Amino acid sequence: MQEQCSERGIDRGADWLKAGGLRPTRQRLALAALLVGDGENRHVTAESLYALTLGTGERVSLATVYNTLRAFCDAGLMNEVVVDGSKSYFDTRVDDHPHFYWEDSHSLTDAPAEELSIASLPRVPEGMEVARVDVVIRLRKA
C-alpha cells in the first residue's frame, strides 16, 4: 500500500487516468493510485476499494467509489466481471483472460489463459458483434 500512495504511485495513477482520457480529480487520483500505483493488476469490489481508502486518510464516499469505477470501465481502464447477479468485481487487467472465483473466500483471481481452449462461439444475431467473452470458473473445496 505504501508504494501505491507514494509519489511514484500517484504518478502511475495520473498516467493511467490520462491514458483513459479522464480528468485527474483528487478522488480519481487517490483511487487510481490504490488500483495501479504499484504496477500490479487488481480485482476489487467497490466495497473493498472503499475499505482501502479508509487507510489512506482520503475522504471518498462509497457512492463516489462506485461512480468512479464505472467511469474507469467506461474509459476502458478496467473491466467489470459479474460473478452473479449481485456481485461485481472490477479488474485492472483489460485483455481477454479467464478468472477463478473462489466461493469460500469470495475472491476473484486470474486463471491461466494458456490452459483455456474455446473451440467456437455461437453465431451472433445479425447486426451484432461479440464485445467480450467472460469466463469465470467457480471453485469450492472438494
pLDDT per residue over 14-38, tens digit each? 999 999 999 999 999 999 999 999 9
Look up the pTM and report it: 0.88
Cell numbers placing 41: 493488476
pLDDT per residue over 34-77, tens digit each? 999 999 999 999 999 999 999 888 889 999 999 999 999 999 99
Q: State residue 7's pLDDT score.
A: 82
DSSP β-ladder status, 99-102 and 79-84:
unpaired
Q: State residue 5's pLDDT score.
A: 60
- Rounded to 5 degrees, φ, ψ at 106 are 55, 45
Query: What do you get for the CA distance between the two ends of the chain, in Å?
Result: 34
